[in-house]
Structure 1
């Protein structure tokens, strides 16, 4: 419940020369908040981790002498080690009355002059009163503590270095120091240390709206619960709604970058900059297999030359009506699949505390495709001097100490439309450096990273340790087009409906067999642990070949023979294994490793199987749909794929899909039953094809193997 302490810090904001929080009636602000808390009891009790993600919304309902707010926790996910999980979007999660109390929301009023608490109550008065009457509830105590206004400052001087005393921040007497002031924002940090408690945080205010925008905070304090004492340590990261919850969560758990230097990477490849596709698909699909919803959309064309954004995401019920404010974007990610196809994933959480939420039948969004351009510019570096370079909407600042000409620092800030790609002309090592040196020593590395990320808001500092003095250096920035080059409304439907359209990209490439290839193209003999012998016989060779011994031996009266290592099992798609492995063993199968012996193996085949290139054609708009001339529509998939393989760019034989359902074709299906308008639907992007042919010339081969003696 600690995210609700944010309101206290809202009261530090403002505008003009001094920052004064002055919200307007009806103003509304939502924050995404992630916390990670470590509870360490004294004695032999185990420690406990409590992690939470929240979407907290504030709405101003009264201004003047009293500031009154409606506070709603629109989304919450709480994970307490040893005590299970709680999620607002899962009706079975948590106490029913507590869920009703949270769903109704809360009212908080404070004195506008002093910041003193005037009113704190739940909108559901009956449940609120009942909760108070229970007394001693940890939840209610934390809720009241979090909603109480711990400090109030009437004005923050818009002057870097100015300090203010905060009489009560979560029970601490703290000092706030202004770090930076720009026309758009004010940045500050606050800290407090007592005998058993300490606190440090950084925050930013929007000078125009007067609202708090970002915050990272670490609190450490003693606690007492049911007679148990100990220490409580919390890291909280907060950002406006629309930020990636997954990214915020990452900041609270992992040190983002290793301080160890690494080799300066090679410069990026130069590419054409036109958008790689001229169309967007009408549909993606909804994956409901996880706690959250996941939208998957497939983007054709080279993903490095374009960027896709999904905006205005809305949930629809079965009648096509919009379910208002139903979704919270958690994370956006992109994965290269095969060829030039990328999958764009968007993780969503269901907001609200409804016991019987309206079923989401589909989701729609506005898809916007942006072209990207690689910008390059060269600069002759001057050791010991500070230099700046404007490139692709960014300002790159380079500096090196006068007494260390081989140390170079590059500072820049990636934006929503511009990313630094790399550089050419620098040799040596480099590492990232965040502004963590000024932070208190008692903070842990991950806490320093989180706080520094709030202060920088995207700023990066790269430190180069050069092997030789630099001359001319070329910098590369990827710049996104200011406006989309393509737009369309996209629907996200069930996976079955998506798969039923053969003109949509397959969700993944499926190899016909597990592993990187089907089998060796020819029989292959190899040692097993140096003292045994294995031979792999590809499927096509088995009916044509005989394996024998020209020279063998016996062990304890049992001659050695070639025998199947195991009965080959069907692959994961149901097709026969691509080859049979044979093992040299005594005829009773008890021994397969030998010492100081020699054996000569002979393979005689009545023909010579081999793969030859095969021509095929692909649908230009849907290249996973292919035509191969001369195929028998009545032939089974298994029989066809035994003599014909469609290979991806890694040389793997690909499986076929049922052209109508999109599911993997079964071995017994006929080509006619799975085909679509004469095309075969491939589970991936084939780049070449091959067919099996058997040359009439006999094939013979002999191997002699000497097993080393016992050491």
Structure 2
């Protein structure tokens, strides 16, 4: 059973019960207290580093009575279990509620306050609980697991409020452990927890509320045999729909550090780089974004921005996400829009993943015709710091509230390791004045060195930002006495906020006036197969071919098959050349011709030798003389004043001479090319917003509003293939051998 097999860490995590005396954090619940927690658990494979499963749950705790025995309710408000192979085996928002009734109804618990021991656990829905017990038995592994998990995080030890104090815990997440108090604020107590057995080792970050002892957060990693790891994140939330997403990010620092790129310099005039602050009209440039489905229960909400070629800096967040029916009414579905920062991607879109929460919303979700949210734009700020640099020496620099440590590598001239306290909102740029050479990709890590790289990454991203350390390497060729570093910081308050609308994918992409969204698939969609990746890459290579014109002298007859012949014409020549048989040859009263044969719009066309009736294409014991005549040499020439200034991704077909809607799509690309920024070639999209698959179909099948072609990006330049110079020709004599005997 999946739940038994994969939920080793916990389906029903519970608050840490803490008791104590004065000057200690004391768990002091009262009847009627309520608390919600997002609990995330995952397990990482040792060999491949892949996630074997992850479980995300929202649990609601209600205190019924408090005495020597605490009576409480634990009600799962969302459960989401995913296996590493991409299958989602349990999701409360999109699964049949009847099958999950025993979970949806919640559980009644009795816990010994002094020891934290679970005394009883029963389902609140008596009928569903009875059926569950009758079917599985009282000692079914799932029930035993539930009983175990709700009692595991229970501490009956007083927690001192003195930094540095250590406390032995008989059990923390299944291991004996030692808690060390690391920080005290007016509201919270922070601690690290370390534990070890023969084959498991634990490191965690713990935060408790000083006022009542309730847990605020836990981020823990349990390292197992052969470097496999379990991950646990527990976050208290007063608003379940607005939290940081604890889903782990698994990087491989040792590989990334090997990737070096040149250190950038500021403007030669000495003007420091300035982050581009987008205008509000550019942030919210279009009337709608796109709503796409990923693997349930995730939706992808994508906004396209008018960034042009300006450096794009800053980030977008969404709040108050709502889906609506055809009449525009709110369907009332609860969504989690994580407060993580969503930066603009390479396609200058911003994509937010929103999680549908709750129980069995399938029927209501089908009524979705649009979505709305409040989008917030946060710009970045940039501060420069000039320091005195000492070549080859260890150095420490104070850059505002950031401490940068520079450590030279022994016996490696010009090579340094850089590390700094990352905090939650600041980054050191790879723009550095006064140093020349290469710099690596910055990686984040937190926790002790014995953790795996992936575990340290996860703690840095999901856990306490104050404990995250950013690191990178430099390999320098020139060093100056004066060096200027640049620190980029995220603003904590949005510069602009605006209500935005999202249309379902099929409606968005059917609109001519909404820009294309390319390279930005639905969140968490399945990985493509190897064959699909190969096909996509081949298609991309064709579509991004820069239409290089092959010299006339390089055109030859293809005799790869001894009994057939073909003239493959590279891109450009097919529109200006014709081939003909010039000697008198007949087979069964049919002459021979070179028949044009399209192999698609890119990169070649071909002439196939065949009889006039098209029946025979293989020949024996025959000599054929061929002449290829070309009007001139093909050359791409820019056509001025044809781009659409209002909707730059659209092309009015009437602006393209010699092209009509009844011609095949391939005719368009044989005669014209369309370039975006930096000369990148663009490709036309069909009316579903997807890459064209059938180039032999008429152009009318892909026209928007009966007249426009929609392209994969903004069209900056349109070029037409034209013949220039003097006509050219060449002849060949082709001899086919006799038919083989036997």
TM-score range, shorter chain: 0.7 to 0.9
1:194 Cα deviation from its structure 2 partner: 4.3
1:140 Cα deviation from its structure 2 partner: 1.0
Alignment match, 1:204: 206
State whether residues 54 and 74 of structure 1, in contact with CA within 8 Å, keep that contact through their aligned partners in structure 2. no
Alignment match, 1:624: 649
1:53 to 47, 52, 55: 55
Does residue 343 of structure 1 match 2:372? no
Q: Give the distance between the partners of 1:109 and 1:345, measured in 2 at CA.
A: 44
Alignment match, 2:637: 612
The 3 A distance-change label for structure 1 pair 356 and 664 is: closer
1:686 Cα deviation from its structure 2 partner: 1.0
Higher share in strand: 1
The 3 A distance-change label for structure 1 pair 656 and 450 is: closer
Alignment match, 1:668: 698
Does residue 217 of structure 1 match 2:224? no
Q: Give the distance between the partners of 2:346 and 2:479, measured in 1 at CA.
A: 42
Does residue 7 of structure 1 match 2:35? no
* 1:128 aligned counterpart, secondary structure: helix
Alignment of 1:163-174 (within 5 A): 163-170=166-173, 172-174=175-177
1:355 Cα deviation from its structure 2 partner: 7.3
Does residue 99 of structure 1 match 2:100? yes
Does residue 492 of structure 1 match 2:502? yes
* 1:504 aligned counterpart, secondary structure: coil
* 1:250 aligned counterpart, secondary structure: coil
The 3 A distance-change label for structure 1 pair 56 and 238 is: same
State whether residues 628 and 729 of structure 2, in contact with CA within 8 Å, keep that contact through their aligned partners in structure 1. yes
Does residue 283 of structure 1 match 2:266? no
State whether residues 660 and 699 of structure 2, in contact with CA within 8 Å, keep that contact through their aligned partners in structure 1. no
State whether residues 562 and 582 of structure 1, in contact with CA within 8 Å, keep that contact through their aligned partners in structure 2. no
Q: Give the distance between the partners of 2:388 and 2:638, measured in 1 at CA.
A: 52
What runs of 5+ residues in structure 2 fail to find an aligned partner? 1-6, 267-272, 520-535, 583-591, 611-615, 734-742
Alignment match, 1:366: 374
Alignment match, 1:125: 126
* 1:273 aligned counterpart, secondary structure: coil
The 3 A distance-change label for structure 1 pair 444 and 206 is: same
CA offset digits 1:630-661 (Å, max 9, x no partner) = 75896546455553433233442532666xx8
Q: Give the distance between the partners of 1:701 and 1:15, measured in 2 at CA.
A: 100
Q: Give the distance between the partners of 2:572 and 2:258, measured in 1 at CA.
A: 52
Deviates most, 25-34 or 60-69: 60-69
1:35 Cα deviation from its structure 2 partner: 1.6
The 3 A distance-change label for structure 1 pair 605 and 620 is: closer
Q: Give the distance between the partners of 2:658 and 2:415, measured in 1 at CA.
A: 69
Alignment match, 1:175: 178
Q: Give the distance between the partners of 1:527 and 1:603, measured in 2 at CA.
A: 10
The 3 A distance-change label for structure 1 pair 144 and 449 is: same
The 3 A distance-change label for structure 1 pair 158 and 202 is: same
Alignment match, 1:297: 303
Alignment of 1:397-408 (within 5 A): 397-398=404-405, 400=407, 407=416
2:193 to 160, 177, 190: 190
Alignment match, 1:156: 159
1:193 Cα deviation from its structure 2 partner: 3.7
1:100 Cα deviation from its structure 2 partner: 0.6
State whether residues 639 and 720 of structure 2, in contact with CA within 8 Å, keep that contact through their aligned partners in structure 1. yes
Q: Give the distance between the partners of 1:577 and 1:82, measured in 2 at CA.
A: 37
2:549 to 521, 525, 533: 521
Alignment of 1:197-596 (within 5 A): 198-207=200-209, 210=213, 211-218=215-222, 234-239=230-235, 242=242, 245=245, 248-251=247-250, 255=252, 258=255, 263=260, 265-267=262-264, 270-271=273-274, 273-276=276-279, 278-279=281-282, 280=284, 281-288=286-293, 290-291=295-296, 292-301=298-307, 302=310, 304-318=312-326, 320-324=328-332, 326-329=334-337, 336=345, 342-354=348-360, 357-359=363-365, 360-361=367-368, 362-381=370-389, 383-384=393-394, 386-390=396-400, 394-398=401-405, 400=407, 407=416, 409-416=418-425, 418-424=426-432, 425-426=434-435, 427=437, 438=448, 441=450, 444-451=452-459, 454=463, 456=465, 459-462=468-471, 464=473, 471-508=481-518, 514-517=542-545, 519-522=547-550, 525=554, 536-538=568-570, 541-542=573-574, 544-546=576-578, 567-570=597-600, 579-581=604-606
The 3 A distance-change label for structure 1 pair 624 and 157 is: same
The 3 A distance-change label for structure 1 pair 623 and 376 is: farther
TM-score with structure 1 length normalisation? Answer: 0.74
1:451 Cα deviation from its structure 2 partner: 4.6
1:645 to 673, 686, 696: 673
Q: Give the distance between the partners of 1:428 and 1:519, measured in 2 at CA.
A: 34
Q: What is the count of residue pairs matched by the alignment?
A: 647
Q: CA RMSD in A?
A: 5.0
1:489 Cα deviation from its structure 2 partner: 1.1
The 3 A distance-change label for structure 1 pair 238 and 30 is: closer
Does residue 31 of structure 1 match 2:38? yes
* 1:507 aligned counterpart, secondary structure: coil
* 1:139 aligned counterpart, secondary structure: helix
Alignment match, 1:558: none
CA offset digits 1:524-559 (Å, max 9, x no partner) = 627999999996425764475355999xxxxxxxxx
1:155 Cα deviation from its structure 2 partner: 2.8
Q: Give the distance between the partners of 2:548 and 2:353, measured in 1 at CA.
A: 42
The 3 A distance-change label for structure 1 pair 590 and 193 is: farther
Alignment match, 2:585: none
CA offset digits 1:20-43 (Å, max 9, x no partner) = 334564443321403217799xxx
Q: Give the distance between the partners of 1:543 and 1:153, measured in 2 at CA.
A: 84
* 1:493 aligned counterpart, secondary structure: strand
TM-score with structure 2 length normalisation? Answer: 0.72
Deviates most, 663-672 or 127-136: 663-672
